Structure 1
Amino acid sequence: MSATPPGRLGVGVVGAGRVGAVLGSALRAAGHTVVGASGISDASRERIATLLPGVPNLTVDEVVERAELVLLAVPDDALAGLVAGLAEVGAWQPGQLVVHTAGSAGVSVLEPARRAGAIPLALHPAMTFTGTSLDLARLEGCTFAVTAPAAVLPIGQALVVEVGGEPVVVAEEARGLYHAALAHGANHLVVLVAQAAQALEAAGVAAPGRVLAPLLGAALDGATRAADVREGVGPGAIAALTGPVSRGDVGTVSRHLEVLGDLAARTGATDVPASYTELARGATRRALASHRIDDAAAQALLDALDHPRPAGPSEEDA
């Protein structure tokens, strides 16, 4: 990476949540000085004491006043109001670096600070945080989306490299799509695992997580490795697809719909068959587009998904 490091800076952390305290600690380990952090909740104060020992817990205004680099690690919906409010009281300083970590926003949200002479940067780590020291090791090799005016883009890239990350430039207008992709993948993966675990538990499996871990780990590894391969219809993650849809096995898919419908009727978990159906439709279309299955098999699968058979009597009823 050829970006020029910005030199040693006085860093102020606004929002000592799971992300802010960890990134503040990483910047400190890279040689910067954390001059203050703001934290109101007991959890935030504890994170400051644990991850940023010796750093004073200050008000937001005090943090901004002292810092050469202000790290805004607040909830996405609170960011615009915070930046505008600080501008109204004249808190931003010319030449001050203002960095936010919101995934869905670029630098336009920092416009009130930029008008006051501050330098806007948007750095979003593509990682989930626990807010503990465990996250520091996980920053190594973590991708950060970097959005900034062209003249200062190298500063953002250098800051990412300093904390061990890999910078990837994301255009201002693409930040929403970038963040939607991450949320769809990570957040909905958690929901998918929860649904699969619920079905396994209903099937009598006492430790569903233990059953799912090696299977889902292998599937995730294969899919993410294949995702960088272009197949003409998008990233090649679908190359890692296994199971009944990839084989055009309509009978098995129909049986899955029956038993998941029965699970929903017994437990109220109607989201499980709904998710299965929608994801199976997506898998069918992508399997067809990548020539894993032919037109006839795809149509048979889609017909089965559109018209599931009602569940038969359970063993208890037979």
Structure 2
Amino acid sequence: MHEEFGPLADPFGDPGDPGNRPGRLAVGVVGTGRVGPALGAALQLAGHRVVAASGVSDASRRRAEALLPGVRLVTPPQVLAAADLVLLTVPDDALPELVAGLAATGAVRPGQLLVHTSGAHGVAVLEPATRTGALPLALHPAMTFTGTSVDVARLAGCPFGVTAPEELRPVAEALVVEMGGEPSWVPEEVRATYHTALAHGANHLVTLVAQAMELLRTAGVAEPGQMLGPLLGAALDNALRSGDLALTGPVARGDVGTVRKHLDRLATVSPDIGQAYRAMARATAQRAVRNGSLKAGPAAALLDVLNEENH
């Protein structure tokens, strides 16, 4: 690791001790989408000062004006010139090119804290800037953002996936605590697994719920959300508490006849949802077999039905 990280091992002291307030930093935000302004606002509430931000679209500029009033909007190199701590809150795929460009143009200063919020990347993506002396941190808030002031309040207790050089771990965790979050250490080598888990759980959950609502509307249910709310809320709570042991329903019970009826109906109503149902039912059966709630015989019969081409 870089020896220059050593002296900054814990520049903030104890963020929970009112008598030991962290040093105040000039903060810059590169990318005023939904995440950057909220994190900048949270850092301002902690006593830091957002001095500059960059945003191109009209929506980005409006968000900056709403959450970071009075903060000047400039180019990314100008943001880095003004700030001690820079939040890089751009889309995942744009981050490598942004970092490489800033490093190549000499915009990055030695000792500057460079923080990105991408869940998919660790600190390796910041290597071009690290070589010029920047201090790299990856702080990913595990939350969906609306781009409004409500996001700042939601940061209270929000888990953050934290990746940093070991020497900078106290700095990274202190920043998360200052924003109201709860730091969770994610080693660099498993960062992709971490982000896959979050995307699979959150994004595909939305698809699953939307499909269930679509089917209920087809069945004539006027308020599908109202019907699904208690059921899905209980299922999510049980799954978070008990994992696979929370599995219920026809697949977990091995009710082959019921599953066949579902597939027959989906072939008529929505073949696309039928494909998703089949994939999730296979995965559910496999997990139910592993935890012992579904025996091998019924599981084999169930998988035969799920694999039938006419469905």
Report the TM-score, using the length of structure 2 for normalisation: 0.91
2:86 to 50, 70, 79: 70
* Other-structure match for 1:263: 269
Spell out the pairing of 1:110-125 with structure 2 (5 A cutoff): 110-125=126-141
Spell out the pairing of 1:210-289 with structure 2 (5 A cutoff): 210-226=226-242, 237-264=243-270, 270-289=271-290
Spell out the pairing of 1:155-170 with structure 2 (5 A cutoff): 155-170=171-186
> Structure 1 residue 30 and structure 2 residue 46: aligned?
yes
| AA of the residue aligned to 1:275 | A
* Other-structure match for 1:104: 120
Distance (whole Å) between structure 2 residues aligned to residue 306 and residue 215 of structure 1 = 28
Q: What is the Cα deviation at residue 81 of structure 1? A: 0.6
Distance (whole Å) between structure 2 residues aligned to residue 159 and residue 52 of structure 1 = 18
| AA of the residue aligned to 1:257 | L
Give ranges in structure 1 of 5+ residues lacking alignment. 227-236, 265-269, 311-318
| AA of the residue aligned to 1:305 | L
Distance (whole Å) between structure 2 residues aligned to residue 142 and residue 271 of structure 1 = 35
Distance (whole Å) between structure 2 residues aligned to residue 88 and residue 105 of structure 1 = 20
Q: What is the Cα deviation at residue 290 of structure 1? A: 0.5
> Structure 1 residue 186 and structure 2 residue 192: aligned?
no
Distance (whole Å) between structure 2 residues aligned to residue 79 and residue 141 of structure 1 = 26
* Other-structure match for 1:291: 292
* Other-structure match for 1:232: none
Report the TM-score, using the length of structure 1 for normalisation: 0.89
Contact 1:258 1:308 in 2 (8 A): no
Q: What is the Cα deviation at residue 148 of structure 1? A: 0.5
| AA of the residue aligned to 1:239 | L
Q: Please list every run of at least 4 consecutive aligned residues from structure 1 whose deviation after the TM superposition is greater than 4 angstroms.
A: none
Distance (whole Å) between structure 2 residues aligned to residue 131 and residue 220 of structure 1 = 26
Q: What is the Cα deviation at residue 35 of structure 1? A: 0.7
Distance (whole Å) between structure 2 residues aligned to residue 156 and residue 102 of structure 1 = 14
Q: What is the Cα deviation at residue 300 of structure 1? A: 1.5
What secondary structure, in the 3-state scheme, does the structure 2 residue paired with 1:13 have? strand
Distance (whole Å) between structure 2 residues aligned to residue 108 and residue 287 of structure 1 = 38
Q: What is the Cα deviation at residue 192 of structure 1? A: 0.7
Distance (whole Å) between structure 2 residues aligned to residue 30 and residue 297 of structure 1 = 57
Q: What is the Cα deviation at residue 308 of structure 1? A: 6.6
What secondary structure, in the 3-state scheme, does the structure 2 residue paired with 1:70 have? strand
Contact 1:254 1:308 in 2 (8 A): no
Q: Which string of whole-angstrom CA distances, capped at 9 and with x for unpartnered residues, describes residues 9-40 of structure 1? A: 11100001100011111111111110111111
The CA RMSD over aligned residues, in Å, is: 1.4
Distance (whole Å) between structure 2 residues aligned to residue 88 and residue 309 of structure 1 = 57
Change (3 A) 1:292 1:247: same
* Other-structure match for 1:144: 160
What secondary structure, in the 3-state scheme, does the structure 2 residue paired with 1:121 have? strand
Q: What is the Cα deviation at residue 113 of structure 1? A: 0.8
Instruction: Tell me the matched-pair count.
Output: 294
Q: Which string of whole-angstrom CA distances, capped at 9 and with x for unpartnered residues, describes residues 94-113 of structure 1? A: 11000000111111110111
Q: What is the Cα deviation at residue 225 of structure 1? A: 2.2
| AA of the residue aligned to 2:26 | G
What secondary structure, in the 3-state scheme, does the structure 2 residue paired with 1:146 have? strand
What secondary structure, in the 3-state scheme, does the structure 1 residue paired with 2:284 have? helix
Distance (whole Å) between structure 1 residues aligned to residue 163 and residue 142 of structure 2 = 14
Q: What is the Cα deviation at residue 271 of structure 1? A: 2.1
Contact 1:254 1:309 in 2 (8 A): no
Q: Which string of whole-angstrom CA distances, capped at 9 and with x for unpartnered residues, describes residues 66-104 of structure 1? A: 000000000111111111111111000011000000111
